[in-house]
Amino acid sequence: MRASAIGQRDGFGLTAAERDRLETHARRAVRRARRRGEGLASITVALDRKVDPVAVIAASRRPDEPWFALEQPDADAFALAALGCVRPIEGAGSGRFGQAADAWRSLVSEAAADDADGPRGSGPVAVGGFAFSPHGAASADWQGFAAASLHVPEIAIARRGEEVRLTVCVLARPDDDPAALAGRAAERVRDLVDAPLPLLDPSPVEPARVASAMPPEHYVAAVQRAVDVIREGGLEKIVLAREVLVRAGAPHDAAAVLGVLREAFPGCFVFAVGRGEKAFVAASPELLVRREGQRASTLALAGTTRRSADPAVDDHLGEQLLRSAKDRGEQAIVARRIEQTLRPHAVWVAAADEPVVVRMANVQHLATPIRAQLRHPIGAVQLAGALHPTPAVGGEPFAVAQPLIPALEGFDRGWYAGPVGWTDAHEDGEFCVALRCALLDDRDARCYAGVGVVADSDPQAELAETEAKLGALLPVLSA
């Protein structure tokens, strides 16, 4: 890859040599399109290390233009942010992960692109997510978010440590003019804006109103019904979620929310997926899968308690969590299922002997890191499909829990608890589980939080746990 530092110039823009390179790639893509109907072309260039990928994409997006941002500040400042869509990849039903993986593999297999270089997420990528259920996100609230929906962005910026790369993509059709394709893409790069993320309004004229979509009593009753079913036999665990609506005095600003979340939750996967006027935002603690070559890694996360400002009390709460038979049992169910799912695809699977306590800003969890050496090439999207949903967000066995979840919850989860992330030209990538999340639509924000219900769950305690988890986003959205 021939890299040049855009961020050191006066604004953004491709050099004449870079535009010529993109045109050359576009010419190859047109030839492929004449054989196969479409062809992908891209170039990747270096940016100044001070460029903030998420801030640039948030400031540069146009009305109704799809956008994507995911970062984990504590993970070597990793960030991947993207703008526009040259090719949507969508699907539905039980085969939606396979459909998406096949479509991406077909498109990128003959892409005319620079040699891979730079941080993870450099080069052509597909970004987006999947609904929790095979036919989920069907309600009007989730319009624009298909059950499987990846976008190949026009512009993507990846960062890790002090390495920053910008990739620009074009999609060629049989009769396209390569020079025109390259010219339009160069204009879009030139229009990028380097500006900080906006701030939340500290003094809104009209205060936000918070209300459960259903009364808390409904949730308590649902948990009790789940406990009864579990005690009857045939079901070990089921995860039940609540939906809480926040109506603000002015439209929610997804970029401003992102800015607060990444400061408050640097260890989490902080993301936004913008579709039309809506944006799905989160600060999720849970990695579903990361694929790097023949290595896969994931995290079994289950069991929760609150945090305390007093360090001694905080440590005591963590110790209680480690000693809780209920939480240890719930956590073991998740770890066991993940290991069983990975084994057919792996030479070996390794998990920690004991869970550890991981601390977020507002809660503590039990976590077991799990790694695997893959036996055969299997891409990040297919791995996500194999692992989703883990018992941390679904149930065990899931075949029994699956019909009970919507019946007891009473709403469409949409992308809540589904995989959100990205994959690259080598089918490496990373997907997190969409937790501690909210769907923003003008003045409305629909927040989601769930808990694992087992035989000895206390419904009132489970309600209190959802309140603790909602504490990640409610203070930001209702300020």
Tokens of 360: 């977020």
Q: Which two tokens stand for residue 86?
A: 């040259």
Indicate if 236 belongs to the active site. no
**Separation CA 241–CA 438 (nearest Å):** 13
Residue 378: the pLDDT is 94
Q: Which among 237, 278, 339, 430 is annotated as catalytic?
A: 237
154 is catalytic: no
Where are the domains positioned within the chain? 6-190, 209-246+287-411+444-477
What DSSP assignment string belongs to 308-343? -SSHHHHHHHHHHHHH-HHHHHHHHHHHHHHHHHHG
Residue pair 260/201 in contact (Cβ under 8 Å)? The answer is: no
* Distances from the Cα of 138 to the Cα of 33, 121, 233, angstroms: 33, 30, 32
pLDDT digits (tens, 9 = 90+) for 172-200: 999 999 999 999 999 999 999 999 999 98
pLDDT at 358: 85
pLDDT band of residue 318 (cuts 50, 70, 90) is: confident
Judge whether residue 1 has pLDDT over 90. no
- 172 in Cβ contact with 451 (< 8 Å): no
pLDDT value, residue 302: 81
Give the pLDDT confidence score for residue 479 in this predicted structure. Answer: 65
Distance between CA atoms of residues 289 and 384, nearest Å: 6
Beta strands in 389-468 (DSSP E): 395-396, 419-424, 429-433, 437-441, 444-453
Q: Which value, in Å, is the radius of gyration of the alpha carbons in the chain?
A: 22
Q: Where is pLDDT greater, at 284 or 215? A: 284
Return the ∠ at Cα 387 (arms to 384 and 391), rounded to 5°. Answer: 135
On the CB side of 1, how many CA atoms lie within 13 Å of its CA? 21
Predicted TM-score (pTM) of this structure: 0.94
The enclosing H or E element of 302 equals strand 295-306
Domain 209-246+287-411+444-477 has CATH 3.30.450.30: no
Confidence at 201, pLDDT banded by 50, 70, 90: confident
CA 64 to CA 434: how far, in whole Å?
22
Selecting among 23, 154, 286, 396, the annotated active-site residue is 286
Average pLDDT, rounded, for the chain: 92
Per-residue pLDDT of 251-308, as tens digits, reads: 999 999 999 999 999 999 999 999 999 999 999 999 999 999 999 999 988 878 888 8
Q: What is the pLDDT of residues 422-456, one digit of tens each?
A: 999 999 999 999 999 999 999 999 999 999 999 99
